[in-house]
Amino acid sequence: MRAIEAIKSGSHLLRESKVESHILDSELLLAKILKKSREEILINLDQSLTASEILTFNKFLNRRSKKEPIAYILKEKEFWSKNFFLNNDTLIPRPETELLVEYLLKLYNKKQITILDIGTGSGCIILSILSELKNSTGVAVDISSKALKAAKKNAYNFKVLERVKFYNKSFEAIFNKKFDLIVSNPPYIERKDLKNLSCDIKKFEPLVALDGGNDGLDLIKKVIYKSKYIIKRFGTLALEIGNGQYRKVSKILTDNNFKIKNIIKDNKNNVRCVIAIYGS
């Protein structure tokens, strides 16, 4: 079988399974198997596949046809122009999180700071920041040891491993250190709404990283309360929040001596990130 035939048959299978990006996904899966870029595949569509490659391709297509996110099949997702290694215990990085990273890099341009990333997952936030703030250091915590394995691998790949420490424990167990910047993308989905998530999310992404409790604010509250004790005066707390949560979150922040400095909206004009300063 040639590459062009594999892409066509793969695309047809995925289209039958109502996968909207069926052509692109078929191309990406084949590129992964052949260990080439998608562009390389498309300029050499006559190359032949081995029986083993066809078998693996069909296995990948079967997984994708069941709505498994392509990022988990490929075990990677591009974020901040880097390919982050993922496993099934890490959330897939989202575009709105890149907006948060972009803002924080502008805020701390070329400065030397200490960073805490609560619920680091793949490490996409803290590692993207450290890769550009060359004199800064950080701490990344996550209750999932498997997620931390992915984050450590990414830190090694991006050559920042010596500037970040990883802890497999709750952020509430952190003492005796104060940070310039605390970032977190905590679980913020109301428990009753988990069942309404799309199949690719609720079946495949880690529930512990999605479940925000009865009001969606359980972890957000804990992050804010704890941050008071481990953030420097005039330090920055950057939180990713759910759609429609801004009013409640801003009140919790102001009640705990934080002042809202900025908000970041997504492409639908929803407030998705809140930037607050402590003690001002």
Same domain assignment for residues 42 and 163: no
Same domain assignment for residues 96 and 61: no
Same domain assignment for residues 92 and 23: no
Q: Which of 32, 66, 100 is the last residue of a domain?
A: 66
Q: The domain spanning residue 35 has which CATH number?
A: 1.10.8
- Range of lowest pLDDT (143-157, 176-190, 237-251): 176-190
Same domain assignment for residues 37 and 98: no
Question: Is 142 part of a structural domain of the chain?
Answer: yes
Query: What domain range is 24 assigned to?
Result: 3-66
Q: What is the pLDDT of residue 211?
A: 56
Q: The domain spanning residue 222 has which CATH number?
A: 3.40.50.150
Same domain assignment for residues 52 and 92: no
What is the mean predicted confidence (pLDDT) over 1-19? Answer: 93
Q: Measuring CA to CA, how many Å separate 237 from each of 9, 62, 247, 257?
A: 49, 42, 16, 12
pLDDT tens-digit series, residues 85-135: 999 899 999 888 999 999 999 999 989 999 999 999 999 999 999 999 999
**pTM for the full predicted model:** 0.90
Same domain assignment for residues 28 and 140: no
pLDDT tens-digit series, residues 171-188: 888 887 899 999 999 866
**Domains in the chain, number:** 2
Q: What is the pLDDT of residue 188?
A: 67
Question: Is 82 part of a structural domain of the chain?
Answer: no
Winning range, highest mean pLDDT, from 8-12, 40-44, 216-220: 8-12
Average pLDDT along the chain: 91
Same domain assignment for residues 100 and 37: no
